[in-house]
Structure 1
C-alpha cells in the first residue's frame, strides 16, 4: 500500500473521530489524549499525523468547509442568474446544515471556544473567501438590476446572520425544506428591487 495514501486515509479517519468528539463534548471535552483514545491509537501516533490540537482542529475546519463548497457551490454556479444563485446559496446552505449537523456542531464548538488552540471564524481564510463570494454575488445581482441598491458589506453580514440562525434551527431539528423556502423569501424581501 502506498504510504502517502495510508497516511492520508489515517489523517482523514482522525479528523472524523475529532468531528464526532467535538460534536458530542465540545472543545473543552476533546483533549488530545481523549481524541487518541477514541481513535484507538496512542498519543504518539496522533502527534505523528498532527502537530497538536490546533493543527487537528484546523484540519476539521478545512474538511467541513471543503464539504460545504462541494455541496453548495455547484448549485450556485449552476444558477442562471445572480438572483437565482443567491437563492441557491441560501437553499443549498440550509440543506447542507441539515445533512451535516454533526460537522456543524464541531465547527461551532471550535469557533465559539475560548481555548488557546482554536481560532474564530473571522480568522479563517475559508470564511473570508465565503464572505467574498457572497459579496461578489450580491454585487453581480445589483449590476444585473435584479437586486436593489444596498450596502453590500452590511447585506453580506445580514445574510451570514440569517444563515447562522439556520444552523441553530436545523440542529434543533427544523425541517430544512420549509426553512429554506422561508429564508429564501426573507432574503428576497431584503434584497429585491
Structure 2
C-alpha cells in the first residue's frame, strides 16, 4: 500500500516518486493498448516496467486507482497541449477552431494513449457495476466548451443557441472522430478535424 503520508497528502511526492509513478502509468498505457483492459494485470504491467508488483502497490492502491490516474494523466497532457495553443486567441471563433484542430493533433501523436483510454472507458466499473466514466463524468469538459460558446455569443460572433446542447454535440463529435480513427488508422485525422471546424462554425454563426 501507499505510505500514510503520501495517501493523506501531508507529504509532497519526491521527484523520484513522481518519476516512478510516471513510469508505471506509461507501462500501464502500453500494456492496456496491447493486450486489453482485462488482461492488463498489475503483474504484467510491472513486468513491462521492469519492476516488482510490490512497487506498483506502493504507489497505487490497486488496479482501479492506477487506471483512474492513467486517465487523469492523459487528460492533463491533452489539456496542457490544447490550452497552450489557445493562449493568445482573442476570438471565440479562434478558440473553437484551435480546440478542434489541436486536440486531433495531440492525439495523432499519442495513438497508444487513445487505445488505452478506450479500453479503460469501456471496462472500468464502480462498485455498483456502473461505468466509472459514463456521461456524468464529462461535466468539467462540457462547462469548458460552454464557456467558449457563451463567449462567442457575448461578442456577437455566434448566434443564440443552447450552449449545453452545443457542448454535448461538440464533445460527442470529437469522441466519435477518435473512435473512427481507432478502428480505421488510415483515416486522415487532421482532415476530419478541419471538417468539424467548418461544421461547427457554420452551425454557430
TM-score scaled by structure 1? 0.89
Match of 2:14, SS state, is helix
Q: For residue 181 of structure 2, what is the aligned residue in structure 1?
A: 170
Q: For residue 73 of structure 2, what is the aligned residue in structure 1?
A: 63
Q: Of 137, 143, 155, which residue of structure 1 is paired with 2:166?
A: 155
Deviates more, 1:105-114 or 1:8-17: 105-114
Aligned residue pairs: how many? 188
Q: For residue 195 of structure 2, what is the aligned residue in structure 1?
A: 182
Q: Of 112, 120, 140, which residue of structure 1 is paired with 2:133?
A: 120
In the alignment, structure 1 segments of 5+ residues that lack a partner are none
Give 1:187 deviation, angstroms: 1.1
Indicate if the aligned counterparts of 1:82 and 1:138 stay in contact, CA closer than 8 A: yes
What are the within-5 Å matches in structure 2 for residues 11-160 of structure 1? Answer: 11-116=21-126, 119-122=132-135, 124=137, 127-160=138-171
Runs of 4 or more consecutive aligned structure 1 residues displaced over 3 Å after TM superposition: 114-118, 121-124
The higher-RCO structure (CA 8 Å, 6+ apart) is 1
Inter-CA distance 167–13: structure 2 relative to 1 (3 Å threshold)? same
Inter-CA distance 48–114: structure 2 relative to 1 (3 Å threshold)? closer
Deviates more, 1:157-166 or 1:30-39: 30-39
Indicate if the aligned counterparts of 2:142 and 2:167 stay in contact, CA closer than 8 A: yes
